[in-house]
Every structure is written in structure tokens, then in C-alpha cells.
Structure 1
Amino acid sequence: MFGLSKKPVTILTGYLGSGKTTVLNELLKNTESDGIALIVNDMGSVNIDASLISKSNVTQADSKMIELTNGCICCTLQEAFMTQVEALAKDKHIKRIIVEASGISNPASIADGFLMYQESHKKLGFYLDSVVTVVDADRIYTEFLDGLKEKSDERQKEIIDEDPDIINLIMDQIEFCNVVLLNKCDLLPEDKKESVKKVIRQFQRKAEIVECVYGKVNPDRIFKGSKFDYDEVMNSSAMQAALAREKAMDEGCVDEYGISSFVYEEKRPFDHEKFSAFVEENYPENIIRAKGYIWFSDDDIHVQLFEQAGRNASISEVSNWVAAFDEKEKEEVIRSFPDIMEEWDEIYGDRLNQIVFIGKEIDKASITKMIDDCIDKVPYTATQPELVNKENKKIG
């Protein structure tokens, strides 16, 4: 009976300009506002989104709205956010909690926060009911499909100058959700709209895609539709599945729009200069999205995250390879996670270049050849530490 009394939480995410606040306003207009609590997160010191909601025609008398500013609920404000959700869930007058996340929020990090909070608080009065990503259909077409064709010099410059972190964030938001609200569908004819859906399906295989115009959507599609399942969402993302080495993608499969995907894997390190030249000078324009972990011969300590969307690419450090840990720390990790030894290499340890590519009419052989040419041809040598296998016996 306790489970039935838990309050559902809906996370509404989507990048700036996608129509998130408009969707929220429309949901409130067409839903019984009695018992709804709103949490609005904005990175600025003045919460513009909350102001728009307050000035709309939505009656706020029976709703409770909380503003979280000067931070993001997926990182700096995560603890404050979870505490606020818990407090709202204890209010007997509240039946549902809707969260409008900041445009720069990563929904995967928000969901991780829910899981961690759940582990440390056994009797929660709420649960993550759905993660809804609002997507600008016109923007996706322009920057990923139309972006592969010839266009004006001015539009080319806009795409090239776009911050790669922004483009990759938009893709992350699409990958990690159980509902995609495809907004601004009126800006595209049917054939282009269908091509956008096909692209989205390459990034997120199972999320329900709901078309809408001006943010108008039947609330039942959100509140009574598919439910959020963390493992299912993770596994249904083509990127996450491949990077988790589950190979869930149908490699070599080409859809009717010529969109295909493949996974590049190589244990040997990249030459930093060659790989950078490939990304900056010779990167195939018809690759829509790429994401993966790489390493360089001049830095065998750090795991580098490579991300590309449209015409933009970025490389950033995200962690250290286990093989680069000191002996004591390495043994502790292997003892706690013995499965790591299943793919442990005698020379490289857990170091691995693994990138997922999704593109339109891509030539796998040609791209693979270009990436292979970036591999450092000088044999890699490292003093290999004494390791411990699953039976805690020394090997190597």
C-alpha cells in the first residue's frame, strides 16, 4: 500500500528554445492543477521561466511552485533538489510533482541523483515516473540532416560556430528519456518530419515520440503513458548500449533514409596530433553523431570522452583508466569489480578506443581507414603491475 501512495515525479527537460516552458504551461492549462507541485530550475540568478509561468493564464492557487536558481539540479543543486522533492512528497495535498529542468541539465545525472537518494533513503514518498525531453524538430533537421547538404555560407557559419558542448548536450537529452516531445512540427513538411524521427530513433530506440505544435500535448500522453525505467532507457540508447559493450546496435543496418551506424574499437592508443588533425581537418561531414572513449600515447592515464554532433566535436577528460591506478587502488577496484578482468589486456589493461558512429550514407571502410591512420605506430610499452583475477590469484 505504501508504494501506491508514492507521489509521481515528472522531469521535463530540453535545451533552450525547444519550447519546454510552453509545454509546461499547456500541460497545466489542460490538467487539474489541484495537487500539482512545480519545481522550476534555472541557471541564472533571475528565474525567467518561472516568471513566464506565473504570468500565464494558469491558475496557481491550487499549485505549489518552488524555484531553484544559481545552479543546476543535475550537479550543484542536486542535494537541494532531492531534499525539496522529498519535502513536497510529504505534503498530503500534493498528488504529483513536475520539474522543469534547466536547459543545460543532463537528465542522466538527474536520474542518477534519484537512484543514489533512493539507496540512502529506503522509505521514499516519491518515485521518478517519467523523463520527458522536448525537442525542436526544425533544429534537429537543420543541424543534422539539412546540415549535410549544401547551404548558404551564413548558415554554414552558424552551424560551424555552434558550441559543440551544446549540440552534444541536446543529443544526451534525446538519448536519456522515455518520452520525446517533438515540438514545432508545423515548421517541417511530413517527409522531413519523418526523417527527424528516424534520426531520433538512432539515438533512442524505445522512447515514445509524441508530435506537438506550440507545446500543445494531451496530458495523458505524459502522465498516463510509458513509465520511466532506468535500465531500459540506458540500454535503449544506441550510444550507451555500444559503449557498455552490449552491442545492442544493428551494425551495418541502413534505414530508408540512408542512416547507419557502426562501432570502432582499437586497443592501441591514438597519436594526439594525427587524431586532432583528423577531427579538425578531415572529419567526414555526413557523420551525424559520434561518441566514445579514447586514449592517447602521450597520456595513458586519462580516459578521454570524444563527442561529436553535426559539425562540432569536443574531447574532454572524464576519469582515469584503472590500469593507471597505483597498485593498492587497482587491486581494490579489481576485487570489487572482478568482471573488469574479462576484457583486461596484457599490455593495455582496460585502455581502449571505442567510438560509436551514426551517419547518413557513411562509408564504414573509409572512415575506419582514416581512424586507423591516427593510431600511434610506435609500440606501446608500460611496466605491467601484478594483477588479480576473479579467483584472487596473481596473474601476468
Structure 2
Amino acid sequence: MVNRLLDDPGGREIAVVVNDMGELNVDAELVASESDDGVIDLSNGCICCRLQDDLVTEVTRLAETRSFDYLLIEASGISEPLPIARTLTGESNEGNLPEQLRLDTTVSVIDAYGFWKAFDPAESLPDAAPDPERPLTDVLVEQVEFCDVLLLNKCDMVPGDALDAVEAEIRELQPRASLHRTTHSEVEPSQVLDTGRFDFGAAKRQQGWKQALASDGDEADDDHDHDHDHGHTHDEGVSAATAHGVESFVYRRDRPFHPHRLDAWLDDWRGNVVRAKGFAWVASRPETVLGVSQAGPSVQAGPIGRWEDDDPATRLVFIGRDLDEAALCGELDDCLATTDERAAAYPDDPFPRESP
């Protein structure tokens, strides 16, 4: 995408910062071959964590030494978008950017073929995730959930009906972003540059799972219909989500889980659950909020705070295709602690846990 924008910047002068995890920044070399002015190369680390300070330093230097209309920052394939946005908006502790710069748009380029394979248990994963320490599904979901514009790329590699289903799943995960199907990242400059779409508060609030939790408290929306209409419709006005069985629901209970039964249940991934996220109450940690995050076969669960003045309760959002809500709720109900189990001690508490 960056190379295409350098070829056709829409009349803008563009500067580029390219980040790569390896010592050799191959992406920077490829981009530099398209740019007469060269690029800033941030290698051997990720700008969402260890290279945050370097990012601020280099962006500030660019603003002071070069004249440009737009700065493109290409993060590594495993970067988390949220920490980068915090850095670029001054919400982190890594210093402030020059006043003449503002964050205009966050763009996620999602590999449609990789997404299709990663969330289908009957299929093999494409090659390997960018980082063996982080499952591909984690990377994909994080990049889908936090963006203003989403390019669903490599669409030519996915059959039409499967591509519609992938888009429907992505729309359930990310209802806010402007979505464009692309091949070879071919996109009009106006679709990703000078959009003015970035809104930090909205970006943090409007992931699909957060919207589901928010609407869960609205009695007028109890039915929820499990199929947000995000503009892409099929025959007779049926939404893409409905056409492909993509849905979501909230599991809510006011009894704690037995820690070992919940831990065992989390090991058994259902292929039709794309995303599960929320908060759990566990008998082994009655004062602690247990955060649960599942993306495909990758599951993490661990303490994220204390209940304090809030009443302990479990609220878990499930997003997927052809979900059997009654069966899932029944399985989770079987994991709830009995009265005696709530009073028991759990010296071998399995939490926190992370996917292997």
C-alpha cells in the first residue's frame, strides 16, 4: 500500500517511516526503491513497545528537517495499533510530537486469505504467524478491532461466498471502520489519506464486543438480532451477517466460575467462535476481575483489576458463525461453582493463563 501511495500520492508530498522487527528492514528497502527522497528505517524492534521513543524522535526530526504534507508510518506486521496511537497522540509517556502534526487515520491491511484460513479449524494456517510467540489470530483481531480504515486485501485468493463471510465476520468485530476490498492493496489515495476519521475515544469504544456489552444493558434491544447491519446487504435487504450466519451474544451470570472447569472449557476451542471477550468472576479470585480474551484458538485469561464497588458478575461476548447460544451457555453454566465450591480454597489456581 505504501508503495502505491508513493506512486500516486494524490498531489501530496509524502514522508515515510517503516518499522520492521528484524535487523534487516526489507520493507524499508522496498519502499525506498519507490521514493526519491528515501525513508526513515526503524529496525530490530517494534514501534508499539521497545521503539516508541525512537518513533517520536524520528518523527520530530522529520518535521524539523523536511517539508511534507503527509507522513505515513508503516508498522511491522505484528504491531499492536493502540500503543502506537497512544504514542502519536501524546497519551503515552514517550514525549509529544510537534504541534503541526496530528494523527489523521489508522489503516489496517488485513490478509483476507490469512483470515479465512486462520479462523477455520478445518483448514491449515498459511505458512506461519509473523511472530511464533503470538498466534496469527491474535494479530489479526487486534488489527481489525482498532482502525479507522480497513483494507481487506488479497481478495482474489478467496472464493466469493467465503469472502462475503470473512467480511461479515470482520464487520461484527469492527463495525466502525470504512472497509474496502482490495487486490495488491490498490486503493484510491483519498480513501486512506486526509480522511479525518481518527477519533481516539471512538476507536477504543466501538469494537464489536464493546458495543455488544453496551447494548446488553438496554432492555429495548434485548433481542439484539445478532446481526448488526453495516451497509453490505444481500437479496431483499438481508444483511451480510445474517446471510452468512454471523452473530453475537452476551453470556451473563451472577455466580462465579469454578476455576478448573472454566480453564478446561477454555482449552476446547469451537471453530465457529471467532472472538470472545469480556470479564469473568472466578471462585478462586472472588475480589478480582478476570479478563478473558479469545481470538480463534488463542485464549488468554488473567486478572485485570478488582471489583471494588461493582457487583461481581460475568459478562462475556461471543462473536462467530452459526453459534449455538443455548449449547454454549449450557456448557458455561456447567462450569459455575456450587455453594460449597465458592467457599473452597484453590491453592493451584490456573489463572492467569495464556495460549501455548
Q: Name the one with the larger strand percent.
A: 1
Matched, 1:360 2:321: yes
1:188-229 CA distance string (max 9 Å, x none): 233222222111110111211112111222222111446211
- 1:305-348 Cα deviation digits (max 9, x unpaired): 322223x132243533253xxxxxxxxxxxxxxxxx4xx22xx4
Q: Bigger CA drift: 226-235 or 268-277? A: 226-235
Matches within 5 A, 1:109-188: 109-117=83-91, 121=96, 124-144=99-119, 147=120, 150=122, 155=124, 165-188=135-158
One-letter code aligned to 1:81: L
Trace 1:1-396 onto structure 2 (pairs within 5 A).
23-31=1-9, 35-54=13-32, 56=33, 58-61=34-37, 63=38, 65-91=39-65, 93-117=67-91, 121=96, 124-144=99-119, 147=120, 150=122, 155=124, 165-225=135-195, 227-242=197-212, 251-254=224-227, 255-281=242-268, 283-300=269-286, 303-310=289-296, 312-317=297-302, 319-321=304-306, 323=308, 341=309, 344-345=310-311, 348=312, 352-378=313-339, 380=342
1:112–1:241 Cα change, 3 Å: farther
Q: CA contact under 8 A between 1:86 and 1:124: conserved in structure 2?
A: no
1:332 is matched with which residue? Answer: none
The higher-RCO structure (CA 8 Å, 6+ apart) is 1
TM-score norm. by structure 1 comes to 0.72
Question: 2:13·2:70 contact (CA, 8 Å) conserved in 1?
Answer: yes
Please state whether the residue corresponding to 1:354 is helix, strand or coil: strand
Q: 1:197 to 1:226 in 2, by over 3 A?
A: farther
Once residues 21 and 288 of structure 2 are traced to their aligned partners in structure 1, the CA distance between those partners, rounded to angstroms, is: 30
Residues 172 and 240 (structure 1), Cα distance of their counterparts in 2 relative to 1, 3 Å cut = farther
Secondary structure, aligned partner of 2:137: helix
SS of 1:104's equivalent in the other structure is coil
Gaps of 5+ in 1: 1-22, 324-340, 383-396
Partner deviation per Cα, 1:11-48 (whole Å, 9 max, x = no partner):
xxxxxxxxxxxx21122112268732211111222222
**TM-score computed with the length of structure 2 as normaliser:** 0.79
Query: Residues 56 and 97 of structure 2 are in contact (CA less than 8 Å); yes or no, is this contact kept in structure 1?
Result: no
CA contact (8 A) 1:302 1:317 kept: no
How many residues were matched structurally? Answer: 323
What do the CA deviations read for 1:37-82 (whole angstroms, capped 9, x no partner)? 211111222222112223x3x1323x5x212223221222222212
Amino acid at match of 2:20: D
What amino acid does structure 2 have at the position aligned with 1:50?
Answer: A
Task: Give the Cα–Cα distance (whole angstroms) in 2 for the partners of residues 67 and 158 of structure 1.
Answer: 26
2: CA distance, partners of 1:132 / 1:114: 14
Distance in 1 (alpha carbons) for counterparts of 2:83 and 2:286: 27
Deviation at 1:175, TM superposition (A): 0.8
SS at 2:299 equivalent = strand
Q: Is the 8 A contact 2:212 2:248 kept in 1?
A: no
- Rounded to whole Å, the distance in 1 between the matches of 2:169 and 2:12 is 38
Q: CA deviation at 1:179?
A: 0.5
Range 73-82 or range 162-171, more displaced: 162-171
Indicate conservation of the 8 Å contact 1:73/1:101, yes or no: yes
Whole-Å Cα distance in 1 between the matches of residues 97 and 150 of structure 2? Answer: 30
Instruction: Give the gaps of 5 or more residues in structure 2.
Output: 228-241, 345-356
Letter in 2 for 1:187: M
RMSD across aligned C-alpha pairs, in angstroms? 3.2
One-letter identity of the residue aligned with 2:101: F
1:201–1:97: structure 2 CA closer, same or farther, 3 Å change rule?
Answer: same
Q: Distance in 1 between matches of 2:196 and 2:171?
A: 16
Q: 1:246 to 1:210 in 2, by over 3 A?
A: same
Structure ID, larger Rg = 1
Greater than 6 Å deviation, 4+ residue runs: 156-159
Structure 1 residues 158 and 316: CA distance shift in structure 2, 3 A: farther
